[in-house]
Structure 1
Amino acid sequence: MTTSAPHRLATGLLLTALTAAALAACSGERPDPADLKKGLTADSSLFPVAEQQAACAAKLLTKSDLSDEALRAIADSDADYTFTDEETSDLGTLQVHVLTDCAP
C-alpha cells in the first residue's frame, strides 16, 4: 500500500509537532507563572499556597534563584524530584516572602 505525498507530508508535520511539544515539556526551560500557579494549587503540590496567593507566589518563584529544574518540578508537582539543600533553604525563605508579600 502506498500513501500519497500530501498524506506523508501531513504525517511528517504531525510527528514533528509532537516531537517539538515533547521536547519542550521535558526541557529545562523556566516555567512561566501560569504553569507554576497550577502546580502551587494542585492537590499534590510540592509548595502549596492558598489560591488567593498563587499568582503572587508564582511571580516570586519565577524571579527567584531556584533552578529551572526545581521550578519545573513545582509546576508539575513532580514527587520524584529531590530538592538540593540550597533549594530547600531557598524554598523556606520564599515561603516567608509568600506569607508576607502575598497576603490576601
Structure 2
Amino acid sequence: MMKLRADIAVMDILGHMILWIFATIITFGIALLFFPYSFAKFVINRTYVVNADGTEQKMVCDIDLFGNLGHVILWFFITILTFGIGYFFYFYRICNYALNNTRLG
C-alpha cells in the first residue's frame, strides 16, 4: 500500500508566510490572487509517495506563479462579480489544477 509523507518544517512555513504577507502589503492585496498557486506548490513539492517496499518518490508540481495569468484574471472577475464568494471556489480549483500538474520526480 502506498502512503504520502509530507516534510514541511515550521521554519519553511514561517518563511513562506512572511514572504506572502510582505507581497500582499506591497501589492495592496493583488498578490492574494497568486497565493493559492504558491500554497499548493509549496505543499506538493514537500510531499513524498512512500511505496509498499519503503522507497520514496518526491512529488513535483510543475506550475509557476505567472504561467496562468489568464486564469488569474478570469477568476479575479468572477470574484468581483460574486462579491468575493468566487474566491473560495478559486482556491479549490487551484488545488485541483496543481494536482493535475504534478508528477513523481
TM-score (norm 2): 0.32
Larger Rg: 1
Larger strand proportion, structure 1 or 2? 2
Larger helix proportion, structure 1 or 2? 1
TM-score (norm 1): 0.33
